[in-house]
Chains A and B, each alone.
Chain A
């Protein structure tokens, strides 16, 4: 079978336009899904995508024609290149045009693609069988999902650059419900290879929460002292990060816009000395150290393919220090070209306490499990709405005393940064909602004195 490197070289050989970028991505994935104490769906799949970005220089700027096709063999390469070139010739100059990146082949480019198979679950599957049996006997119903994906990206430019990156991404989620459907609990984590996944430990966390839920307490809507666990913080900070786009801020359309013009870069977002940062080399959260994209957007430009991605502070000591940039938006905004990085860490100044210690130090408050259905309500403040899910617990004098009804919240993550009463120790976290797209983060549990629970949700 053709190698991805051959596809890249062949496509560059065929290229007749002024410049060209080629991306070949080889992915393999395996998944198991279960519900009602039994396996429901499963699958393995292998995909191969070839993206050709043909660039034509003209008197008014450069045009890019982008075509992505799956399952391309050597025979199909020329057609893909010509299709991209035809698009480049027919389209006007691109707003984000910039010279392509040049360089030499990086070490490791000739390595074959990494892959995965259903065997990645060889120790998980029997554990699940045991858990299903135990759950049925104990009057619990388990639901969940495990997925492992390995994508290897090969990037080549007509100016000699050759880069390779292999990215493993995995996660497991477990939901437990009582047979009468009145109690529900969830836990989840990300993993690179499943060797660190202990299904029995995940189940123990779910069982503990189902036990806590045996006493039910109804609470009305209102503002409550609330401890948000790392998963919930991860969803809120992911949304903030996705919104921290330089061009949008510059045009006056986000919470990061400076009234009257420009961005809020350099401004203080919060008096709390909090850091929000990314780094492709973070242990356990490693991600691509160069940019690879098959479509331009406000987050990324096809012209920037191969751009080096380094450690980036988005917020440092409470100051907004950078926004997500393309080289084009960096020119427009006059700021550093800081591209999007595929991981994120939130850290506080102390950060010693774990969530159990924070609960123990709570006189009166709520402990959340995770958040769900988070959507933007008002971009001016980045007001988000959403719901608590799978367990809101009441804490009294340092102990969980029962489960509370779910709530709809209306809160802005930017505003929350300014109202942090406590920031715990950052740990790897799987954002419940956005983990499908963004699973590499380390988040602390946080305490907010007056979290806005806008109304009661009957969901349980």
Chain B
């Protein structure tokens, strides 16, 4: 699905010469496995406040890394100077790091087998590269959007930003795989602020349009109706500001994909990362209640729960052709009929746990970082012929309809979570009955997914996502998408956030 050419500036870098120099030196010094990765990352951030330019910056990160396995130990080193002498020096440094590490490594590194891909090229699906759009056009777009919101009654301030990324990766290893890849992504976001002129508080609401693996055409309406969302946003905020505060208790929830994607991310996406289940993140991101011994038996949720992992969905933020282990990407089941049936893997863990081929989740966010297992697009599948949003709401006597993500927090084993949102509507006898405010929902992962009575049909399905999932030490950020239908949950604990603050 090549849709655009690879950036000439990246292709102009001496990738093969550098790779050859690094891999030859590593091999000569005794590396059994060696890979070379060259990257060029472009980032752009544009921020406007009340239609005026608050910040604009553009960054470019280039560099390379050499990763080796020597006597069963990893060694990793990175450099920025793109000369063959430096590539060879960094390769030797990686070997030295492996030798220093060997003394305290008791778990020899083996890698799962993978086919060889020679001269493979992959480009993400987009029409207009955001870096081909003049800065002034982007600024003008955000200014015009901000002006529409500022013109609405009751809006005190408007924040707008647009983040754009272009990622180029070249990978080569000792067995002969060489891949060249390019992907772009954009994240536009606008937030409106209402401040009570009488000193009675303030509130915000932001657009629900997700970060996406798309080009600048996304801002023109490909995949999201920005005009409609901007039209509705101010009145929705004012309605929320006048809404009654929620009565804490137990409610049925109908959750929109704009909120549920993040709950999927935290309570399923991270919990089915095998490195967490095996303890590699115990000191940092945490472990997982979904331990390896429960693969195939853990009852994760109700029978309507079908969750997949993939790095292949069009416009998915984790989507790519080949991962940073040189593995071709795939789609697989994580939870089927409510039972845990899979994990997210890299080549080392696939071999360690005898799971066959890796499913391609190795990723490094920068040339100077070690690739670790990162999240695939983890998505809750809709029910073919399943209910509409109205039908789901129609099945609720006393409940809350939740839209948009906001605050999120989950414990170190992914049991206990608490989420808020952008908008909450009271459901009474199968119908929406005005907004509520100060709502948070709190649950334990398996209880929550066990209480999922129905998932909506394919027409309710939306791909949400984020640029900035954090994991690992040193910390690395990764982009990831999560598809979700609207879904119905029975008997969830609702808190009032004002009462929680002791007011």
- Taking beta carbons and an 8 Å cutoff, which residues of A are in contact with B? 1, 29, 31-48, 63-71, 73, 83, 87, 90-96, 118, 125-126, 128-129, 132, 141, 143-145, 147, 173-175, 177, 181, 184, 186, 251-253, 257, 259-260, 294-298, 372-381, 383, 385-387, 389-390, 406, 408, 410, 412, 415, 436, 452, 454-460
Contact = CB atoms under 8 A, between A and B. Distances in A.
Interface stretch (B69-77, B177-185, B207-215): B69-77
A295 B65 CA distance: 27
Nearest to B64: A71
Nearest to B475: A436
A29 B370 CA distance: 13
B302 to A, nearest CB: 20
A175 B501 contact: no
Contacts of B370: 41-43
Contact of B501 (A45, A87, A410, A455): A410
Given A45-B77, A457-B411, A36 B93 contact: no
Interface in B246-273: none
A-B interface, 3 closest residue pairs, ranked by CB to CB distance from nearest: A259-B199, A71-B80, A45-B368
B402 to A, nearest CB: 15
Nearest to B102: A39
A253 B104 contact: no
A318 to B, nearest CB: 19
A83 B79 CA distance: 24
Contacts of A93: 53
5 contacts: A95-B53, A118-B96, A377-B497, A380-B202, A459-B415
Interface of B: 45, 47, 49, 52-63, 65, 73-82, 93, 96-97, 100-101, 103-107, 134-136, 139, 143, 156-157, 193, 195, 197-202, 204, 278-284, 286-287, 289, 291, 368-370, 372, 407-416, 418, 420, 438, 440, 442, 444, 473-475, 493, 495, 497-498, 500-503
B279 A36 contact: yes
A29 B474 contact: yes
A383 B438 CA distance: 11
A31 to B, nearest CB: 6
B56 A36 contact: no
Contacts of B199: 259-260
B57 A373 contact: no
B500 A410 contact: yes
A458 B60 contact: no
Given A43-B97, A43-B370, A67-B59, A38 B105 contact: yes
Nearest to B42: A69
Given A95-B54, A385-B418, A125 B500 contact: no
B56 A41 contact: no
A378 B284 contact: no
A87 B198 CA distance: 42
Nearest to A437: B475
Given A71-B81, A294-B57, A377-B407, A42 B412 contact: no
Contacts of B283: 33, 35, 143-145, 173-175, 186
Contact of B473 (A33, A39, A91, A454): A33
A375 to B, nearest CB: 5
Contacts of A253: 157, 193, 195, 202, 204
A40 B96 CA distance: 16
Given A1-B81, A45-B369, 6 more contacts: A33-B283, A42-B370, A47-B63, A175-B282, A294-B57, A408-B416
Contacts of B135: 87, 90-91
A389 B409 CA distance: 13
Judged by DSSP, the binding face of B is mixed
B138 to A, nearest CB: 10
B418 to A, nearest CB: 5
A459 B416 contact: yes
Contacts of A381: 498, 501, 503
Contact of A43 (B76, B136, B475): B76
Contacts of B287: 181
A179 to B, nearest CB: 11
A438 B302 CA distance: 42
A238 to B, nearest CB: 15
Contacts of B444: 458
A67 B407 CA distance: 32
Nearest to A410: B500
B60 A454 contact: no
B74 to A, nearest CB: 6
A413 to B, nearest CB: 12
A129 B104 contact: yes
Contacts of B74: 40-42
A216 B53 CA distance: 56
Contacts of B73: 39
Nearest to A389: B412
Nearest to A387: B411
A143 B45 contact: no
A375 B136 CA distance: 35
Given A44-B97, A259-B199, A87 B372 contact: no
A454 B500 contact: yes
Contact of A145 (B101, B156, B412, B473): B473
B442 A408 contact: yes
A379 B280 CA distance: 34
B497 A143 contact: no
Contact of A66 (B56, B134, B156, B474): B56
A47 B415 contact: no
B53 A44 contact: no
Given A44-B77, A457-B415, A37 B59 contact: no
Given A96-B54, A375-B407, A46 B415 contact: no
B406 to A, nearest CB: 9
B61 A373 contact: no
B58 A87 contact: yes
A35 B285 CA distance: 13
Contacts of A90: 134-136
A454 B442 CA distance: 10
B54 A43 contact: no
A452 B281 CA distance: 28
B80 A46 contact: yes
Contacts of A374: 409
B201 A380 contact: yes
A253 B59 CA distance: 30
A251 B407 CA distance: 21
B156 A252 contact: yes
A1 B80 CA distance: 12
A40 B104 CA distance: 9
B36 to A, nearest CB: 15
Residue in B74, B197, B283, B475 whose Cβ sees the most chain A Cβ within 10 Å: B283
Given A35-B282, A174-B283, A415-B502, A459 B56 contact: no
Given A66-B57, A129-B104, A386 B45 contact: no
A105 B438 CA distance: 54
A37 B411 contact: no
A33 B279 CA distance: 12
Contacts of A70: 59-63, 80
Given A66-B56, A295-B45, A297-B55, A373 B501 contact: no
Contacts of B49: 95
Given A39-B105, A94-B53, A387 B412 contact: yes
A125 B58 contact: no
B409 A91 contact: no
A67 B131 CA distance: 13
A125 B100 contact: yes
Contacts of B75: 42
Contacts of A372: 286, 411-412
Nearest to A173: B283
Contact of B282 (A143, A294, A375, A455): A143
Contacts of B139: 91-92
B503 A143 contact: no
A46 B105 contact: no
Contacts of A67: 57-60
